Structure formats: C-alpha cells, structure tokens
Structure 1
Amino acid sequence: MATLNQHIMSRRGFCLCCMAATTVAATGGWLSPRQAFAEARNIVDLIRDDAAKAPIKVHKLRGNVSILEGSGGNIAVLTGADGKVFIDAGITVSRPRILEAANGLSRDPVKHLINTHWHFDHTDGNQWLNAEGAAIIAHENTHKHLLVAQRVEDWDFNFPSSPLPAVPSETFSSEKTLNLNRSTLHLKYYGPAHTDSDISVTIPEADILHCADTYWNGIYPFIDYSTGGNIDGMIKATDANVAAVTDKTIVIPGHGNPVSNKAELAAYRDMLVAIRDNVAKLKQQGRSLDETIAAKPTAAFDAKWGQFVITPALFTRLVYKGV
C-alpha cells in the first residue's frame, strides 16, 4: 500500500493553496503566496487546470455514502430514493467526470447540496449542481461570502460574487438536521476555525463524520484569516471532532487521504496544539516572524505533515498570525 505522502503527491488540484510546488522545491525555501503566485499563475487558474485533468476516484464507504476524490475538496455523496445528496461541489471543470462517477453509484437525480464552507474548491460547482436540481444548504456565513466579492489576503486573490443560482437558498446559524434517504444528516456550525463558515456533517446511521477543512489528513492545513479563520478555532474544532467519534467512525477530511479515523484525527489535533504552543512561546519571547520561522517550531512534525505545498515555513506563518 502506498504511503500517505505518496497518495497525496499523486493527487492534482486537491489543495486550497495550489502554489507552485516546483518553485518551492527549486528554491529550497519559503515563498509567500504572493511570491509563489508571481512565479506561477493565480491560484484559481492552478486549481481549475489541475481539476480539468484529474481523474475522479470513488471510495465506497457504508450506508450508501461514498467519496468522490479529485476535484477540490473531498466530496461525499449519499444516494437513495430521495435523490443524491452532495456534501461539497468541487470544481466546475470536473463536471463530466463527477457526474459519471456519481451516476455509477446510482441513477438517482441530484436533489440536495450541502456546502461545508464558502471556499472556491468546495463551492465552484454550486451553479451546475443547482441546474441539475440540487437545493443548496449552507451556514449563513457561506451565503454571506458567496453573495459578495471576497478577498483572501494570503492568496492575494479577489473572488467575484457568485451568480445567484450558486448561492445557498437555505441557511442556518447553529445546527440543522435533514432526514433523507433513510439517513439523518446533522449539520453543525463550528464557529470560526478554517474560516468563519465551517460546518460538520454527521450521518449517525453510517457512523460517518465529514469534518471538511477543519481536518487535513497528513498535511499542514491552510487557515483563512481573511474570512475569520484562526489557529485556536482550528484546534477547538478538532477537539470537537475527536470528541464526536469512536474508533469505528469513518472520518472524512476536507483534503488529504479521504478515508480516515479517530487515531489519525487525534494525531492531527496533537500536531496543531504542539505547533501552536511552540510558535506562541517564540512570539512571546519577542521573536519576529522571520526569526520564528528560522527557529523551526514545526521540525518534529515536518517529515509527516510538511511534505506538500503548505510548507513548514508557511504553516508557521499562519500560526504566528493567530497567537
């Protein structure tokens, strides 16, 4: 079986921060997103280009739940007589391959789409899925961000407002429960974490938890401070995720190997806490960002978590901003 890093490196277009990995490797150092984009192309074009080429891999779980991997974040699909339920929408250029993969699971029409947060790689497919017949459900902050132009400072990118068919028509503020396909889907708002719009989706009958981008399996996560994310919120969300699962629960991360479990989730939480504490101590000592990066506060975790485009230095920078 391939290692997790081999699995990750074989994927194209899965990561929010699709910076020029080859540029980072060539320099041997850290590039800010602004510098990386100058060396490559803008983030949206990179994600779209990769999604246009990437195959969609299907992972069948249990309880008529499957994962479609290869277009933005990991997409979950629940099939049944009430119609397909998508959890996240992927990238629009993947539409033919997403449809082919989903139709291979069942011929049920698409009836519902749940957005786990507002980011492009989870909502870009909203408009075409709505055209297929999906009502879009999300947290009220996802609705807010998609309805207006939105800047992500750490990507140095301005997203335009979404067309109205791509904006969620049904929103909630704290929790919401759907009963579809003989399954319960419990939607719960985390509070500010990866963004200020993150939700989890629990399907108790199948014992499945979709954590979305509060959990990146085997890689350092991106934290979007421009829209309310912060490292303490990520840790709080991950603590809630760990508390919500058992050793038998299937855990779906937003990015990375799409089929995970409590042990891997707990290791991710421990990594976040340790690096947050290391960076906070250095910052409290008066170290600048550059000095903190030079001190390598992530060193104990880099071999496992730091092997893709969220480099150890970039992750240090994101944590430093929040402590």
Structure 2
Amino acid sequence: MRHAESYAITRRRMLAVAGTAMGAALTAGSPLLALEDGIVPTMVNAAAKAKIVVQPLRRGITVLEGSGGNIAVLTGKDGKLLVDAGFSVSRPALTAALQSVSPDPIKDLVNTHWHTDHTDGNDWLHSDGAGITAHENTRKRLAVATRVEGWNYTFPAAPKGALPETVFATTHNLRRNNTGIALNYYGPAHTDCDISVNFTDADVIHVGDTWWNGVYPFIDYSTGGSIDGSIRAAAANTKTVAGKTIVIPGHGAIGGHSDLVEFHDMLATIREKVAVLKKRGKSLDETIGERPTAAFDAKWGNFLITPAMFVGLVYMGV
C-alpha cells in the first residue's frame, strides 16, 4: 500500500476513535462539570477500559491512542523512546501494545507537559527502565500538590520515580535510533510547561496539547495557560511544520500543516469575538448567549470541551 493511501486510512481510523479515554465516558453535549464522579475519576475509569489503537507512521515511529493523550513511540537498537505516558491504569493494555510494536526495551520517556493524562504512567515506565526528560516546569508541577480549577481537582505530589530526571529551560536535543529529536519550549501556552518533540530525520512532530485536532481545547489557567499563549503556540506550530510533516496532537487524529492553520484561525477568531463582547460589558452568561463559537461548533464542539465551556475559557483570558 502506498504511504498516502495508508496515511488516509489510518487518519480515518484515528478520527473514528478520537473519543479517547477522556471522551469515552462523556455523552454528546454533556457539560464537563456535570460528570457525577468528576472529570479526573471519569478520565481514569475510561482509560482503564479503553482499547489501545496502534498506528505506525514512519522511520520506526508509532502512535498509541486510548490512554489519555496520544503516545508516540520510537523503536530501534537504542531501545524504545516514548513521548507521554498516558494513565497508569492502562499499563496492561499499553504493555501489550508496546510489545506488539517491537521487543525493544523501554529506555526513554519525554513528557510534553505535566497533566495527568500525559504523565500518570511515568512511575511504572521509569520502573521498567525509562529515563524521563521534560521541561523544568513539568518537574516543578509534578513535585508538589497542584490544583487545576478547571477540573475542580488537586493532584497530589507525584512519587519520586515519576519525576523527570533531565529537565531543560528552552531547548534540549537527543539522538536515539539514528533519529535526531529536538525538544523545544513554547513558553506558557496550554500550561506553563508545554514542549514540542520533533523527530527531525523522520519529519514527524508531537506537539502535545498545543493542538487538539477537531475539538475545542482545554486551557489550564491554574498552571500558567492562557488563550493568548495557546494562540501563540498554535502560530509557532504553523511556522515550524512543513507540507509533508506528520503532526501528532495531544488529542485526536494525526494531521498536517493545513490542520494546524485551521486550529490557529479558529482560536484567533473566537478570541476576537469574545474580546469584543467582553469589552462591550457583556457578562459571561451574556457572551455565551451570543454564541461567538457558532460558526465552529459543528466541527469543534462535540468532545470534552463544549462550546459554552470554551467560551468561558476564552472569556477568562481576554
């Protein structure tokens, strides 16, 4: 099968299962805070039941979808390098999926940011042999109890084995399995610790939660995120990514440059609409009633963050 045909088929498959561990337990249109058990227990419970979808890309890179955020895996003689760790309750399913990809031992783990759906598996992966690398703020957030108001949840400090051992401030470079890997800090965006992981020789990049493909994103104001930072990161992605680059989002299907442009333009347009309404003195409820996201809801409003919730996140930051 030609690569273009394979890419189209796997992209459709990813879209079909884009209701990941976080979305699996949600009914269409139900508000986040209406979940009886709370968003974090709901995410964990869904991840415990989720099937892990394995999607090969190129040059030994594979995506595992189903345990929280998308996990990238690079295989080869240097052992497996993972980008993000999913939920620890997925360990049996992830272990089987990783073994199906290759028998290479787990040697490295990179966290794109601190959120639990990307780092909860850190401890067991470290116990299986992974050295952990992340932005310095990821370690700071994991090392202490951290509150996320948008999830109405306080995360306890992570165990020692879950903490990144190698941290950096702006850039960090690795080379594994004959592949260069460039880690770059966005500045505050979705959180205050978001990084991209660019497999430069493969022309594949994992951008973490700076891109949610086809759904409105969560913005974590509690740990340094903002709508303006999210827009800046989205703009940076459009400049970094070329036409043939495969882009792995934090959530949703893989995509490319045109998808990143569409995401950026959606964020910027809604931000402007909400800012105008707020400047006119509209309350949050009044702003929601004006439906500033209406032109985008059919595509972007059917997952974790509802249109009204996303308006609230944008309103908070303008």
Counterpart for residue 27 of structure 2: 21
CA offsets, 1:230-280, max 9 Å, x none?
0010110011101011110001000011x1111111111110010000001
Q: Paired residue for 2:204, among 202, 208, 219?
A: 208
Partners of 1:294 and 1:267 lie apart in 2 by 24
Which string of whole-angstrom CA distances, capped at 9 and with x for unpartnered residues, describes residues 279-312 of structure 1?
0111111111111000000000001111123111
Partner of 2:126: 130
**What TM-score do the two structures reach when normalised by structure 2?**
0.93
| 1:220 matched to 2:210 | no
Q: Residues 252-271 of structure 1: matches in 2 within 5 Å?
A: 252-257=248-253, 259-271=254-266
Residue 6 of structure 2 is matched in structure 1 by none
Tell me whether 1:182 sits opposite 2:178 in the alignment: yes
Are 2:30 and 1:52 aligned? Answer: no
What does 1:101-180 correspond to in 2, within 5 Å? 101-180=97-176
Contact 1:58 1:66 in 2 (8 A): yes
Tell me how far 1:102 sits from its aligned partner: 1.1
Give the conservation status (yes or no) of the 8 Å contact 1:9–1:308. no
1:182-233 residue CA offsets vs partner (Å, 9 max, x unmatched): 0011000000000001000001111011110000000000000000000010
Secondary structure in structure 2 of the residue aligned to 1:112:
strand
The answer to whether the 8 A contact 2:22-2:304 is kept is: no
The answer to whether 1:73 aligns with 2:74 is: no
Equivalent pairs, count: 310
Cα deviation digits, residues 123-143 of structure 1 (max 9, x gap)? 000000000000000000000
Give the Cα–Cα distance (whole angstroms) in 1 for the partners of residues 202 and 208 of structure 2: 17
* Aligned pair partner of 2:269 in 264, 267, 274: 274
CA contact (8 A) 2:190 2:219 kept: yes
CA 1:197–1:58 in 2, change beyond 3 Å: closer, same or farther? same
Query: Do 2:110 and 2:133's aligned partners in 1 also have CA atoms closer than 8 Å?
Result: yes
Pairwise CA distance, 1:43: 2.0
- CA-to-aligned-CA distance 1:12-39 (integer Å, 9 cap, x gap): 4145xx88536x54xxxxx4x5x424xx
- 2:288 paired with 1:290: no
Unaligned runs of 5+ in 1: 26-30
How many Å separate the matches in 1 of 2:210 and 2:13? 19
The code of the aligned residue for 1:143 comes to R
Residue aligning to 1:192: 188
Unaligned ranges ≥5, structure 2: 1-8
Instruction: Report the AA paired with residue 238 of structure 2.
Output: V
Aligned partners of 1:161 and 1:315: how far apart in 2? 28
Give the distance between the partners of 1:99 and 1:3, measured in 2 at CA.
23
User: Would the alpha carbon gap of residues 9 and 86 (structure 1) be closer, same or farther in structure 2, given more than 3 Å must change?
Assistant: closer
Separation of aligned partners in 1, 2:183 and 2:285: 40
The more displaced of 1-10 and 309-318 is: 1-10
Residues 97 and 5 (structure 1), Cα distance of their counterparts in 2 relative to 1, 3 Å cut? closer
**One-letter amino acid of the counterpart of residue 251, structure 2:** H
- Aligned-partner Cα distance in 2 for 1:96–1:261: 31
**Contact between 2:52 and 2:65, CA under 8 Å: does it hold in 1?**
yes
Query: Which of the numbers 231, 236, 241 marks the counterpart of 1:240?
Result: 236
CA distance in 2, matches of 1:7, 1:277: 29
Q: What is the root-mean-square deviation of aligned Cα atoms in Å?
A: 1.9
Partner in structure 1 of residue 317 of structure 2: 322
Q: Give 1:245's aligned amino acid.
A: V
How far off is 1:6 after superposition? 9.5
Change (3 A) 1:86 1:115: same
Cα separation, partners in 2 of 1:254 and 1:6, compared to 1, 3 Å: closer
Amino acid at match of 2:170: S
- C-alpha contact 1:19 1:43 (8 A) present in aligned 2: no
In structure 1, C-alpha distance between the alignment counterparts of 2:229 and 2:16, rounded to whole Å: 25
Cα distance in 2, alignment partners of residues 193 and 10 from structure 1: 23
Could you say if the C-alpha distance between residues 282 and 147 of structure 1 is closer, same or farther in structure 2, counting changes exceeding 3 Å?
same
TM-superposed CA distance for 1:2, in Å, is 10
When residues 232 and 167 of structure 1 are mapped into structure 2, their CA distance, relative to the original with a 3 A threshold, is same
